[in-house]
Every structure is written in C-alpha cells, then in structure tokens.
Structure 1
Amino acid sequence: MTSYREKKVITIGIVHELTGLSERKIRYYEERGLIFPARSKRGTRKYSFSDIELLMKIADKREEGVQTQEIKRDILKKKSSKHLRDEMLRGQLNAHFNIRKSQHNGRSAP
C-alpha cells in the first residue's frame, strides 16, 4: 500500500499555493529533472506531499546559490544510497529468515 505522502494527487495550482513557487518555476524544476510529477489522463500534473517537500528543499538550495545540476546530482546520490540501503536490509532480512529470492517475488522456492 502506498503511503499518503507518496500518492500523487495534488495539482500544480495547489502546490503553488502551498509552496509559494510559481507554476512556471515548478515546471522548470521538472524540465531540469529535479521533480517527477505523475500525469492524469488529461495530462494534468499531479504531485505528492513528498514532492512538495522536495520542491521546498530545491527552492532553499537555489536561494543559497546552488545550481540545478548540483541539486540533481545530490538527489540522485541520495536515491541511490537509499536504494542500496534498502537492498542491503532486504538481503539481511531474507538471510535471517532464510527466504529465497523466488519466495520474495511471491513464488514458492523449490
């Protein structure tokens, strides 16, 4: 089940109201690969609470003079380390409970 923080249900207008960032600036951050909204069937951008928090962090860094390329590098590094940490934890749990990979994917092991 997806956490409420990760559900992409907030429109760009509401994000603008919550963050004070212009819709143009929010779109710019998307163009630069810093944020990835979902799209409705009609193409409307949809954001999550986590996206809003990330936008605020991006805006703070930009105010400090940090370039978007550096922000993107930091975001990717954090995602990579989180993914690696999650994989390591999953491996430790699987080893502790003697779970084979095929069991983890929902299939029974031989």
Structure 2
Amino acid sequence: MTSSYKEKKVIGIGIVHELTGLSERKIRYYEERELIFPARTAKGTRKYSFSDVEMLMEIASMREEGVQTTEIKQDMNKAQKRKIRDHMRRGQLNAQFNMRK
C-alpha cells in the first residue's frame, strides 16, 4: 500500500519556509509545541510533507486570529481522538455485518 504523495516527508525546512512564509525558527517552534512532526534523516535534517505544509498554513492562520498554540494542540488532539473513534466504529460495523472496504 503506497501512501499519498501528500504524506511523504521529502521537503526541507528551507522550502517549507518559502512555501509558507514562516521563518525557520517559527517552524521549529511549532515542532517544539508538538503541532507538527517532521521526519529526520540520519544526519538529523528535518523533512516535511505537503500535509505538514498545509498544517503549518492552518496554524499560522489560527495564530493570526489570536488562537494560542495550547488551544491549537487541544483542538488537534480532539480531532485525532474523533478520527480514531470513527475508525473504530467503522471496524466494529464492518465486523458486525461482515463487510469489507
């Protein structure tokens, strides 16, 4: 199963800076706040996906509106829990009705 091109961690921080307009320092700060999770090469270079770039744009937009990073993280956690819960429900329904994707 191949992952979507949007999920592949192939973009360096310099390109992310150019795409988003965010400083490299701010991008690293959002990583420190656990709002994004870049991959690391063997030498420690950060690699981002297109999904990460989209998330950074959303974060920047929310920050411009005055939303604090702690609030953003809480919202992200809620969304992730909802996604997991929905996935589990689909699995239970599929098992109950012997359905497959």
TM-score normalised by L of structure 2: 0.92
Between 1 and 2, higher relative CO (CA 8 Å, sep ≥ 6) is seen in: 2
Structure 1: runs of 5 or more not aligned: 100-110
The residue type equivalent to 1:37 in the other structure is P
Report the RMSD for the aligned CA atoms in angstroms: 1.3
Query: Which runs of 4 or more aligned residues in structure 1 lie more than 3 Å from their structure 2 counterparts after TM superposition?
Result: none
The structure that has the greater radius of gyration is 1
Aligned residue in 1 for 2:50? 49
How far 1:36 moved relative to its partner?
Answer: 0.6
Q: Which structure 2 segments of 5+ residues have no match?
A: none
* Aligned residue number for residue 69 of structure 2: 68
Q: C-alpha displacement at 1:95, in angstroms?
A: 2.1
Give the distance between the partners of 1:26 and 1:67, measured in 2 at CA.
15
State the one-letter code of the partner of 2:66.
G
**What's the CA shift for 1:94?**
2.3
Q: Could you report, residue by residue, the CA deviation over 1:69-100 in whole angstroms, capped at 9, with x for unpaired residues?
A: 0000001111110111111112211222278x
- Which sits farther off after the overlay, 87-96 or 74-83? 87-96
Aligned to 1:10: 11
Scaled by the length of structure 1, what TM-score is found? 0.85
Q: Among the aligned pairs, what percent are the same residue?
A: 62
Q: Does 1:38 align with 2:39?
A: yes
Q: What is the CA–CA distance in structure 2 between the aligned matches of 1:88 and 1:48, rounded to whole Å?
A: 28
